[in-house]
Structure 1
Amino acid sequence: MIKDKRPYYIKQAWYRFQNFYVRRYLVPQLSALGPHPYIIKPWYIELFGSPISIGSHATLFGCPDKRTRLTVWSDKKNIDGIRIGDHVLISPGVRISAANSICIADSCMLASHSYITDSDWHGIYDRSLPPDTQSRVVLEENVWIGDSAIVCKGVTIGKNTIIGAGAVVTCDIPANAVAAGNPARVIRKLDPDRKIITRKDRYGDTEKMTKILETAEKDCLEGNTLFGWIRSLIAPTRNY
């Protein structure tokens, strides 16, 4: 991994700028955003429609070639829209498209390019308009959606279940299982005697984790100078 040449105070200023961007441009588009979000490159995260709510300690990543998009498109009132729980991880390139209700419970993890939708968006015979039927998607606590997997309308995925990379989920998947394929099918069950450590378990103590991360960053960036950082940008070498 390439060493970060930024001085510690520059990196902290970068975090403050990202937090300002979140408050200025993303928060007004959300119905709710819980405390302690960790949002990287928020200018590559696109929000359309409402309601969209995100719980506490959420981690979202944006990327220029993998924009993250959360979309609610409906002319109906009083819909759930997109509801995201606490300690959820949303990777670059994730798309979530709701016409009625997509509920993602605590500690879920969505890998890059995964797609979740609660609608077909066009009728089979009348393709000029979205279908009039309402559906929903539910991801129960601690679900892990693999890279490029697709979760289709009307699906509930049970607690702790893993959806393999590239899978297409068209029907309910039970809890504590691993599912893969197109259409996705259960290929194994998780060991009920083994404890599963969730993101909430690992990162729930905000004060403790903040201290650990701050100490690690100070150690990693120790000795970096403003001149050295600028030089690494203008004329990078093995040492810069």
Structure 2
Amino acid sequence: MTKDHRPYVVKKAYLKFQKFYARHFLRPQMDHLGPGFTFMRPWHVELFGAPIRLGAYATVIATPDKKVRFSVWPAEAGKGHITIGDYGLICPGVRISSAEGITIADNCMIANGAYITDSDWHGIYNRLSFGKARAVTMERNVWIGDSAIVCKGVTIGENSIVGAGAIVVDSVPANCVVVGNPARVVKNLDPNETFTTRAEFFSDPARLARDFMAWEQAMLRGNTLFGWLRHLLFPTRGD
């Protein structure tokens, strides 16, 4: 489909249903879900275990073929958690699995298909054990690239970027770009530069909501219920 043929009233009802679904089915499974959250296709978000915490203005995007999965399997009593700060972005296919503890600070972005884990999940010799688990920490404004893997015991410093497909097995300093397997620093960022974070995007939530509403209305202007149903049942080239 190259165009959204839904009338605005249908699109608005769909967005309200997504919000209702997240509140009714996902929020009760979390220890904390901050205000201003957005879940796109929340029925494709899978939660297992506790505690799982998401901060304010979290954006979680899931698709039928790329579910988002947050799983806590404690290695021992009192261990294991997933804690994500404010303004986080979780893209389709992201998996986060914790046995010890995974802490992700504010303004972090995790791209399509990334995997973050704090455990091996099996011992080298004892394949029935959980293996060794060591906490993972991502500091503020970290960007994890498409299909990257972040392994146990890693700390990723503030503002740093993990390139697409990288496998991170050692800690990453602040203000750098790492790529490869195993990931290595290929570029240092200027810490004196101003970083524009996702917090800026949400600095005026009321205005942002109005802007999105105006944009949706403009994009869907002229769409009718009959036209939408016709395109659903009898799509033509260019739909």
**Structure 1 residue runs of 4 or more that deviate by more than 2 Å after TM superposition:** 75-80, 191-194, 237-240
Asked if 1 retains the 8 angstrom alpha-carbon contact of 2:84 and 2:104, the reply is yes
In structure 1, distance between residues paired with 2:235 and 2:119: 49
The Cα offsets for residues 19-76 of structure 1, whole Å up to 9 and x where unpaired, read as 1111121111111100011100011110011000001100001111111100000163
In structure 1, distance between residues paired with 2:115 and 2:103: 14
- Unmatched runs of 5 consecutive residues or more in structure 1: none
Identity of counterpart residues, as a percentage? 52
Q: 1:145 to 1:106 in 2, by over 3 A?
A: same
Taking the TM superposition and a 5 Å limit, the aligned residue runs for 1:67-86 are 67-74=67-74, 76-79=76-79, 81-86=81-86
In structure 2, distance between residues paired with 1:155 and 1:129: 21
Q: Report what 2:2 is aligned to.
A: 2
Q: Report what 1:204 is aligned to.
A: 203
In structure 1, distance between residues paired with 2:102 and 2:236: 48
In structure 1, distance between residues paired with 2:105 and 2:80: 14
Q: Report what 1:16 is aligned to.
A: 16
Q: Report what 1:225 is aligned to.
A: 224
The Cα offsets for residues 139-181 of structure 1, whole Å up to 9 and x where unpaired, read as 0011000011000000000010000001000011001100001
Residue 17 of structure 1, CA deviation: 1.0
In structure 1, distance between residues paired with 2:190 and 2:75: 44
Residue 77 of structure 1, CA deviation: 3.4
Q: Report what 1:170 is aligned to.
A: 169
TM-score when normalising by structure 2: 0.96
Number of residue pairs matched?
239
Q: Report what 2:123 is aligned to.
A: 123
TM-score when normalising by structure 1: 0.96
- Unmatched runs of 5 consecutive residues or more in structure 2: none
Residue 208 of structure 1, CA deviation: 1.4
| Secondary structure of 1:237 counterpart | coil
| Secondary structure of 2:147 counterpart | coil
Residue 204 of structure 1, CA deviation: 2.6
Taking the TM superposition and a 5 Å limit, the aligned residue runs for 1:43-122 are 43-74=43-74, 76-79=76-79, 81-122=81-122
In structure 2, distance between residues paired with 1:192 and 1:43: 40
| Secondary structure of 2:125 counterpart | coil
Asked if 1 retains the 8 angstrom alpha-carbon contact of 2:73 and 2:80, the reply is no
RMSD: 1.4
Q: Report what 1:136 is aligned to.
A: 135
In structure 1, distance between residues paired with 2:78 and 2:130: 18
In structure 2, distance between residues paired with 1:161 and 1:230: 46
Residue 201 of structure 1, CA deviation: 1.4
In structure 1, distance between residues paired with 2:72 and 2:95: 11
